[in-house]
Amino acid sequence: MAVPRSRPRRYRVALCVMAAVLFWLVLPGSVSHAHAELTRSDPKEGAELAEAPRRLSLTFGEAVSERGSSVEVAGEKLPLSRASGAPRTLVADLSRLDRPLSGKVAVAWRSSSETDGHTARGTLRFTVDAVPAPVVAPPPAAEPVPREDPAVRPLLVAVKVIGFVGLALFVGGLAFLALLWPRGAWDRRVRGALVTAWTAGALAAVAGLGLQAVHTRVRPLSDVVDPGLLGAVLTDRIGEVGAVKGLLWLLAAVVLAWAMRGGDQAVRRPAWRIAALAVGFGLLRTTGMTAHAAASPRPFLSQTADLLHLAGVSLWFGGLAVLLVGVLRRRRPAELAEVVPRYSTLALVSVLTIAASGLLLTWQLVGSFGGLLTTDYGRLLLAKLAVFALVLGAAQRSKRWVAARLDAAVSLRSNAATVRPFLYSVAIETALLCVVLLAAALLVTASPGR
């Protein structure tokens, strides 16, 4: 977005320093691995056993959910339990198999992260030399292994995109009114945008909880409204966070109604601003609590960076939207002269925050330069960075307009021909940021490239 007139040399130095830090952070490290992957097993991969084991122990890179994980042999699903005092270890009871193990054995496993609900899959292979006992009677039919509904994941991604856009517009819009333009609380278009943002965010929080439940438990899409399934997911950490987020959206409705009823007088009050800050912080924090940052090697550092990243994007995107549908549409010289330069400063701070926190998150979630190029997560992150570079290009164009044309636009009383280039630039910038939010939702549902 537009930034105030400044010294170009300082910006070039800052960009060079940021590039050097990024190179230093991502160059060292090991090759990436997927989320909640298998790190150890008993029996081990490729082991040759004299007799069939009675149990199989699987240890993953992070805590896993017993309900959302599964282990199967020859299409037969095995009972699972969590090892005592070891949240990363699951134990499968091999004695329950209908036929004794012999020869080459392939065990298909599926893990579900207890932190964010993301899944990983793999196959463990070992050999049993023992000769199985003769089968006297045919065994009963094995319980069919559930298969993931192909419609669940695309819907989950779509809901996360809607939720991200609604959250950023709502939090950033409220911040824009509180910090830059309290009179905008009376504007009809701004009110409509905030109500739409609240509706999208609240519905996405509710729908996301049900979709996450069927995704984690490998259930059909029709079970998304199953009360028993929803009750079960509320006992997991991801369900508890989702419930808190839903309650926060209810409190956000109170804050929004307060602003719409009292207008700029309500928005200027310290009590309203404290309430809006508390609700906004809670929504941003609960969003990050089920992201990849919560399961990184340094969770406190990563989650702090994730919170700052979300806050920066919200202030930038939400401010752009209010600027586009409110301030620029009104074309009032006094408002342009007052609001646009102040938002330029806020946008600059937001961009620097996004860049710095993004560097830190890249280091934590990718960990190596090779991970950017060899993993789906890394390539998607590079695509997001490419779009982000386009956004910065549009922002630079807006900056030049503010530096060269704002005074003229005010003196000409903001006629349409004078303001139109700036309006187009802001519209393009807003659309590109929507694409960035889409990429962010895809990154949240993808396995990180650590």
| Total residues belonging to the chain | 450
The kind and range of the H/E element at 356 are helix 333-365
pLDDT at 23: 38
Q: What is the Cα–Cα distance from 103 to 66, expressed in whole angstroms? A: 28
| Mean local confidence (pLDDT), 282-295 | 80
Q: Which of 251-255, 260-264, 379-383 has the lowest mean pLDDT?
A: 379-383
In the chain, domain spans: 1-30+291-450, 38-128
Please write the tens of the pLDDT for every residue from 334-370.
Answer: 788 888 888 888 988 988 898 888 888 777 777 666 6
CATH hierarchy code of domain 38-128: 2.60.40.1220
**How many other C-beta atoms lie within 10 A of the C-beta of residue 424?**
14
Which residue reads 């977005």 in tokens? 1
Contact call for residues 364 and 301 (beta carbons, < 8 A): yes
pLDDT score of 105 more than 90: no
Mean pLDDT taken over the chain: 77
| Mean local confidence (pLDDT), 212-237 | 81
pLDDT score of 15 more than 70: no
**CA distances (Å), 3 to each of 192, 396, 401, in order?**
27, 8, 10
Higher per-residue pLDDT: 302 or 392: 302
pTM of the model: 0.69
Please write the tens of the pLDDT for every residue from 122-178.
Answer: 888 888 885 554 444 445 554 455 566 788 888 888 898 899 899 999 999 999 999
